[in-house]
Amino acid sequence: MAASHADSPRAGAAVDPRTIASIVRAALHEDIGRGDLTSMLTIPPGVRARGVLLAKQDGVMAGGAVVTECFLQNEPCCSLSELLPDGEPFSSGDHLGRIEGTARGLLGAERVALNFLQRLCGVATLTRQFADAVKSTGVRVTDTRKTTPGLRVLEKAAVLAGGGSNHRFALYDGILVKDNHIRLAGGVAQAVARARAGAPHTLKIEVETAHLGEVREALEAGADIIMLDNMDDDMMAEAVRIVGGQALVEASGGMRLERVRDVALLGVDLISVGRLTHSATAVDISLELELLD
C-alpha cells in the first residue's frame, strides 16, 4: 500500500524549491552562524567523509528534498544517493540515503538535516497511521493550521507523503466562517453571502457548525463545506443525513487514532486532525559518518 501512496499525484505536489532553499538557509544560519568552530579548528579543509542516514525506528519517509538541500547548501560538492522517496515506509535499521563530501561540510549540516528529517518523518508516520485507519472508506484525513511556525509548507508536504490531504494553507487562501464571524455578520446567511460576494469565486465557502441547527442554516446559506466541530458520533451521523450530499462534510475536533475509523464510517467526507502536526514526535534517525583517507 505504501507504493500506491508514493506513486500518487499527492506525493508529487511538492514544494517550490526556492521555498525549501529559503527555510534551509535560515536553519543553517541558526546553527552554524559565522562558523562551526570545532570542525574548523580540528579538521583540515580537504578531508572527505561518507555516511548513511540510518533509521533507528520504523516510520514513513518525508523531507527528502529538505535533507538534500541542507547538505548541498553547506557543501555544494557533496553527492547524495539512494534517498528513499517521500511516502515510502521504512523499518528500523534501514538506510534512508547515502552521502559523500568533505568532512567539514557534512558535519556542519548534520544536525540541521536530522532535525528536519526526524520531525518531518514524524509527521508522515503519524499521518500514515491515520490514513491506514480510514482505508477503503473514501474519507480523506486532512491537516489543519496547527503547524510549527515557519515550517507549515514542509509539514503539509509531509502530511501528503503520509497519505493525508491538505486543508487550506492559511488565512488568505480559504474561507472558513466560524461562530464569531457568524454572530458579527448577523447570521449564517449574511456571513456566507458576504464571503461569497467578496471572495474570489475560485474558493469554496466552509462553515463551522456546533449543532444540527447550525448545520441546517449552513446548508441553506449555500455553504460548500460544512465542518462538524466537536460533535459526538450520533450528531455527526444525523448531520451527514441532513446534508445529504449537497455539501462536503468535514469532521473536526479531538480526532484521536482510536476513533477515526468509526467517524469515517459515519459518512463524512473529510476528517481534519490537528495532532498530525502539533503532536507528532521525532522519528529516531542518525547519520553514520565514516572518514575517507
Judge whether 208 counts as a catalytic residue.
Answer: yes
Look-up of cell digits 456566507? 192
| CA dist., res. 189 & res. 194, Å (int) | 9
Judge whether 75 counts as a catalytic residue.
Answer: no
* 105-to-28, 46, 113, 144 alpha-carbon distances in Å: 12, 10, 12, 36
Stretch that binds its own copies, among 129-137, 196-204, 213-221, 234-242 (CB under 8 A): 196-204
Among 4, 8, 79, 92, contact with its own copies (rule: CB under 8 A): 8
- Asked if 183 is part of the footprint of its own copies (rule: CB under 8 A), the reply reads yes
| CA dist., res. 64 & res. 83, Å (int) | 7
Stretch that binds its own copies, among 16-24, 77-85, 88-96, 127-135 (CB under 8 A): 16-24
| CA dist., res. 59 & res. 73, Å (int) | 26
C-beta of residue 14 within 8 angstroms of C-beta of residue 157: yes
- Asked if 176 is part of the footprint of its own copies (rule: CB under 8 A), the reply reads yes
Among 1, 4, 7, 30, contact with its own copies (rule: CB under 8 A): 30
* Shortest spacing between CB 157 and its own copies, in angstroms: 9
Pick between residue 98 and residue 181 the one whose CB is nearest to its own copies. Answer: 181
Stretch that binds its own copies, among 80-88, 131-139, 150-158, 258-266 (CB under 8 A): 150-158
- Dihedral of CA atoms 292, 93, 274, 171 in degrees, nearest 10, equals 30
Among 81, 91, 138, 198, contact with its own copies (rule: CB under 8 A): 198
Give the single-character DSSP code of 85. Answer: P
* Shortest spacing between CB 233 and its own copies, in angstroms: 21
Helix, coil or strand: residue 254: coil
C-beta of residue 248 within 8 angstroms of C-beta of residue 269: yes
Pick between residue 237 and residue 282 the one whose CB is nearest to its own copies. Answer: 282
C-alpha cell recorded at residue 267: 459518512
C-beta of residue 263 within 8 angstroms of C-beta of residue 251: yes
- Asked if 16 is part of the footprint of its own copies (rule: CB under 8 A), the reply reads yes
What residues between 112 and 141 interact with its own copies by CB under 8 A? 112, 114-116, 118-119, 140
| CA dist., res. 89 & res. 48, Å (int) | 31
Among 199, 220, 230, 233, contact with its own copies (rule: CB under 8 A): 199
* Shortest spacing between CB 170 and its own copies, in angstroms: 5
- Give the active site residue among 48, 98, 111, 216: 111
- Asked if 259 is part of the footprint of its own copies (rule: CB under 8 A), the reply reads no
- Asked if 10 is part of the footprint of its own copies (rule: CB under 8 A), the reply reads yes
Judge whether 229 counts as a catalytic residue.
Answer: yes
| CA dist., res. 52 & res. 191, Å (int) | 55
Judge whether 146 counts as a catalytic residue.
Answer: yes
**Annotated catalytic sites, by residue?**
111, 146, 178, 208, 229
